[in-house]
Amino acid sequence: MGIKKYRPTTPSLRFTELLTFDELTASKPEKTLLAPYKKSGGRNSSGRMTMRYMGGGHKQRYRIIDFKRDKFDVEGTVMTVEYDPIRTSFISLIEYTDGEKRYILAPNGIKVGQKIISGNNVAPEVGNALPLGSMPLGSIIYNIELYPGRGGALVRSAGTSAQLLSKEEKYAAIKMPSGEIRRILLTCVATIGSVSNPDHGLQSLGKAGRKRWLGRRPRTRPVVMNPVDHPMGGGEGRSSGGHPRSRNGKKSKGLKTRQPKKATSQYIIQRRKGAKGNK
């Protein structure tokens, strides 16, 4: 996958850098695996705006993704590599030998016609899903379960991957993309490889309109607001007024947000680089 730069024939194209989508093999999704995707525009059930800067955008349909990979010991064939408008990574349509079709998060380097399989004793090859206890040390993995049987919850965004460092008793030590080292049960299932579309973060949308197509509205900087609207508002000229803060007055840089007595802290062996306290 590469990044395409455009000749500046218009002002917006001067800064536009987008994906070439060379890896994609299908332009239309599998109809049986689509579901409605209703947008909230940042409003809750009472109609009040609870999340700012959301709204509009192109109409989308949700692709039903198999995060659990629980079709054990049934071989599947990769039929397509497709774009998913709701996530940053690409997805692949898998057709199993019994005729069932499912979407999975596509690993980087997957090819049409490739065979994949899930199971307890399958080969640790790209696209295969197996429990952490069955993987060799040093494996690069993604779509990791946090609780057995609930489906992959960790490492799902474009270009990310984690690494299996060690196994001890009933836990595996996993190095997360953030640098955090965390213990996860050996019975949790993960997929071998890294997530597709690693160039996602290199894009430059080029104009505000393309941002609006994605459903993102213009963001107002707190510094330019009035004091009644934000703690950082007010002042003469460009004066900001103290330490960066959120809308409700909490410091937004350097403040520890993780609860000190959170139950899952016992599973964190080493905090991510830059995390202060709560180790």
pLDDT single digits (tens) 37-93 = 999 999 999 999 999 999 999 999 999 999 999 999 999 999 999 999 999 999 999
Residue 240 has pLDDT above 80, yes or no: no
Per-residue confidence band for 277, with pLDDT thresholds at 50, 70 and 90:
low
Q: Give the pLDDT confidence score for residue 1 in this predicted structure.
A: 65
β-pairing, 76-82 vs 3-5, is unpaired
Average pLDDT, the chain: 94
Q: Give 252's Cβ-side CA count (13 Å radius).
A: 12
For the chain, percent of residues with pLDDT exceeding 90: 85
Phi, psi at 4, each rounded to 5°: -100, 125
Between 15-29, 117-131, 195-209, 233-247, the lowest mean confidence (pLDDT) is in 233-247
Domains of the chain: 3-44+54-200 (2.40.50.140)
CA triple 70-90-190, angle to 5 deg: 30
Residue 276 has pLDDT above 70, yes or no: no
Q: Give the pLDDT confidence score for residue 279 in this predicted structure.
A: 46
